[in-house]
Amino acid sequence: MSADPIRLCLACHPDVPDERVTGISVTVDRGCAGLLLTYRLEGELAALRIPDAPLDRERLWAHTCFEAFFAGEAGAAYREFNFSPNGQWMRFDFSAYRQRADGPGGSEPAIGLRRDKHVLELTARLPADQLPSGALRAGLTAVVEHADGSLRYWALRHPPGKPDFHHRDGFALTLAAS
């Protein structure tokens, strides 16, 4: 991977504060072979629902899940990845804002998990064939499900209004071509 990984902190959406999570960070490392994302959630894990059994892959985002959105520098198309702590993942391709499209296949990401009493760390290694080519705009996000079933939304940047990870204003990170 690259010589200089980037570590970023996500912010909880201001409309729904998260009293159980003290912070979520993401380390991003892009190289010729692809992209390594390391999500680190710190807080009261016992007060959260963290999936360990299989879920509907189309709805991983409805539970504790780490997400990444990638778009090329030009055009409206983008790609969404969902990574569940249970090891499942899903990719969605969009031709424009929330307009689903069929996309090419690709190699399967490698997902790893480390957990202790107060830290949940998920790594996702995305092969280069899963990413748009060239420079990328990225939105890094997380959904956290509390024990009562309520959800909290974390992102690198939240556009105005209700939580919306698909909004292009949330694609706050620029990654140079590898």
pTM over 0.85: yes
> How many C-beta neighbours within 10 Å does residue 5 have?
13
pLDDT at 103: 82
Residue keyed to tokens 């060239």: 134
Pairing of strands 89-96, 99-101: antiparallel
177 has pLDDT over 90: no
Name the DSSP letter for residue 96: E
Measured CA distances, 1 to 28, 95, 134, 159 (Å): 10, 29, 16, 31
3-class state of residue 159 by DSSP? coil
Q: For 109-130, what is the mean pLDDT?
A: 96
Other Cβ atoms closer than 10 A to 46: 10
CA distance 157 to 27: 15
Query: First CA to last CA across the chain, in angstroms?
Result: 10
**46 pLDDT above the threshold of 90:** yes
Residue 130: strand pairing partners: none
Structure tokens given for 132: 């748009």
Q: What is the pLDDT of residues 157-170, one digit of tens each?
A: 999 999 999 999 99
Q: Residue 2: pLDDT band by 50, 70, 90 thresholds?
A: low
Q: How many residues appear in the chain?
A: 178
DSSP labels, 150-171: -EEEEESSPPSSS--TTSGGG-
